[in-house]
Chain A
């Protein structure tokens, strides 16, 4: 059973545009929500993370928006660049285990 649901499965954005990826969860025990970026053949690399007591966190071009009542969170990539083309995973921490979404394949076209 997928504990974190991620959408869309794939996304195509023009260079300079905004990429938006959404995630939803049910388990209210989750208390830490990271986003990871993964390139083919590589391990996931942490992009940005948020705790449920914060509604928004921004680091450079990356912003997490968090809606605790709706149990949803999203990643916004501003001024998307071709180098951002990768697979993005949202995750939620329960205990010591990260529960990952299925991933979003992002393609940023020149």
Chain B
């Protein structure tokens, strides 16, 4: 399977715990994105990497959230001191570098987080 992969697929944690998710983009895709999707809503943009550089962050990405892409390949999203409001599906997407406005973002299956 050459699509975007995410691990774990499901995570249940207690409020206050830290969690980390991993995303492996499509091979040779330079751009990587994180989105959050709550029940009944469309995905909301969190952050974007081009290679290892984090170039854009949404206001949704509070200081409890941190994302890294250390070698320009896989990425991790960490949530510290989780809150019940963090319960959501966390989606990763990747895209190749192309002309601005013409890039297709390919999404992974997501990690569903439940904070008790």
Give chain A's interface residues, CB within 8 Å of chain B: 4, 6, 31-32, 34, 36, 41-46, 49, 51, 89, 91, 93, 95-103
Contacts and interface: CB of A to CB of B under 8 A. Distances in A.
A97 B45 contact: yes
Contacts of A46: 104-106
Interface string B97-108: 000111111111
Contacts of A43: 4, 91, 93, 107-110
A22 B51 CA distance: 35
Interface residues of B, number: 28
A99 B103 contact: no
Contacts, number: 63
Contact of A98 (B55, B105, B108): B105
A87 to B, nearest CB: 9
A98 B45 contact: yes
B14 to A, nearest CB: 23
Interface string B26-66: 00000101010000111111001000000110100000000
